[in-house]
Amino acid sequence: MAEHVSTAGPTGRSTGLSAGVVTGVVTAPRRPGGTAAGATAERPAVPPEAVVAGPGPAPGGPVAGRPRARRLGPGPRRPYARLVGPLLLLAVWAGASAAGVLDPRVLPAPWSVVRTGAELWSGGTLRTDLGTSLWRAAQGFAIGLTAGVVLALAAGLSRVGEALIDGTVQVNRAVPTLGLIPLFILWLGIGETFKVVIIAIVVYIPVYLNLHAALAGIDARYVELAEVLRFGRWRFVRQVVVPGALPGFFVGLRLAVTGSWLSLVVLEQINATNGLGYMMFQAQNYGQTQVIVLGLLIYGVFGFASDTAVRLLERRVLSWRRSLSS
């Protein structure tokens, strides 16, 4: 019920206003006789919390009192960040050598190694050995990469190929590759051929394993979709197999690049007459520690540079993929 409040107007008469304080109903002034001068108008009461709280947050905006989401990823990529570790190690080495902590006969100073490298380069010895090592590694890597890709495709896309190839490769993987050196020397002699073959074996195994695993891991729904769309064999390989297997292939490629340098340093110390490994072996006989450290540094620089090149190629080829590394 509305409470009727009588107020005096300018003429002293009662205006007969109804104050709808509780229900929010406002009654029009009554005429003499008790009839309403107009229709009754109802207004909804304003809730008190709307006046106190004020407008809420905008749609999609942060909710008041709720903590922001914590970043779990590694963050944006920093250019040349992978050089921090090697440069820090080089700085520690230089500082320890300058402070006299390291014995030059055990580990010579970096500037002594650089000076030795400059002397060998000007004399022509380092250039010849460097070119020979690069040629051996390139030959073995090219042969191993081709063999690994061909065998993985044959075993990954055909059950017959898998039955004939996969078991043989697994047996070969279980046999230490460097243990095959005496047998290959008897078969191929002590020339360049057995060195290239050993490097190729070291290279093809990680390429085959990772590419074959990537092929086996392609979602079967993509294969069924290609069958429904009546893809040909070549189109299926180009549009389904290659994009699905590229991430695994690049993992195997990085391992293969590292393996080629690791096998090369061993092979060039066995019945070799040139190469970086031969240079290090001769330095061992004459106690030239700085030459040995120089050879190790060159191998490390080559390994780091080749791995960086593969990473850049992978980032460009797989630019469509969103991952933590990107």
pLDDT tens digit string along 276-288?
A: 999 999 998 888 8
Is residue 15 predicted with pLDDT exceeding 70? no
User: Which has the minimum average pLDDT: 73-87, 272-286, 309-323?
Assistant: 73-87
pLDDT tens for residues 222-274?
Answer: 888 888 988 888 898 888 888 889 999 999 999 999 999 999 988 888 878 88
- As a whole number, the mean pLDDT across the chain is 81
Task: Tell whether 256 is covered by a domain.
Answer: yes
Express as a percent the part of the chain with pLDDT over 70: 77
Is residue 5 predicted with pLDDT exceeding 60? no
Nearest in space to 195 (alpha carbons), one of 124, 273, 254? 273
Residue 59 banded pLDDT, cuts 50, 70, 90: low
Residue 52 banded pLDDT, cuts 50, 70, 90: very low
Q: Number of folded domains in the chain?
A: 1
User: Which has the minimum average pLDDT: 10-24, 29-43, 215-229, 236-250?
Assistant: 10-24
Task: Tell whether 143 is covered by a domain.
Answer: yes
Is residue 173 predicted with pLDDT exceeding 80? yes
Task: Tell whether 270 is covered by a domain.
Answer: yes
Tell me how far apart the alpha carbons of residues 84 and 93 are, in angstroms, rounded to a whole number.
Answer: 14
Q: What is the pLDDT of residue 197?
A: 94
Q: Please provide the size of the chain in residues.
A: 326
In the DSSP assignment, the letter for residue 77 is P
What is the torsional sign of CA 289, 292, 298, 300? negative
Is residue 305 predicted with pLDDT exceeding 90? yes
Is residue 160 predicted with pLDDT exceeding 50? yes
Q: What is the pLDDT of residue 79?
A: 73
Tell me how far apart the alpha carbons of residues 195 and 272 are, in angstroms, rounded to a whole number.
Answer: 10
In the DSSP assignment, the letter for residue 251 is H
Task: Tell whether 69 is covered by a domain.
Answer: no
**CATH code for the domain of 271:** 1.10.3720.10
pLDDT tens for residues 103-138?
Answer: 888 899 999 999 999 999 998 889 999 999 999 999
The one-letter amino acid code at 5 reads V
Residue 58 banded pLDDT, cuts 50, 70, 90: low
Task: Tell whether 66 is covered by a domain.
Answer: no
Is residue 89 predicted with pLDDT exceeding 80? yes
User: Which has the minimum average pLDDT: 45-54, 70-79, 183-192?
Assistant: 45-54
215-244: buried (b, 16+ CB within 10 Å) or exposed (e) per residue?
A: beebeeeeeeebeeeebeeeebeeebbeeb
Task: Tell whether 23 is covered by a domain.
Answer: no
The number of beta carbons lying within 10 Å of the beta carbon of residue 40 is: 12
Query: Residue 100: is it exposed, middle or buried by C-beta count within 10 angstroms (0-12/13-18/19+)?
Result: exposed
Give backbone dihedrals phi and psi of 42, rounded to 5 degrees, phi first.
-110, 135
Range of the domain at 134: 105-317
Tell me how far apart the alpha carbons of residues 79 and 81 are, in angstroms, rounded to a whole number.
Answer: 5
The one-letter amino acid code at 203 reads V
Task: Tell whether 254 is covered by a domain.
Answer: yes
**The whole model's pTM is what?**
0.72
Tell me how far apart the alpha carbons of residues 290 and 283 are, in angstroms, rounded to a whole number.
Answer: 8
Q: What is the pLDDT of residue 82?
A: 84
Is residue 323 predicted with pLDDT exceeding 80? no
The number of beta carbons lying within 10 Å of the beta carbon of residue 201 is: 22
Task: Tell whether 85 is covered by a domain.
Answer: no
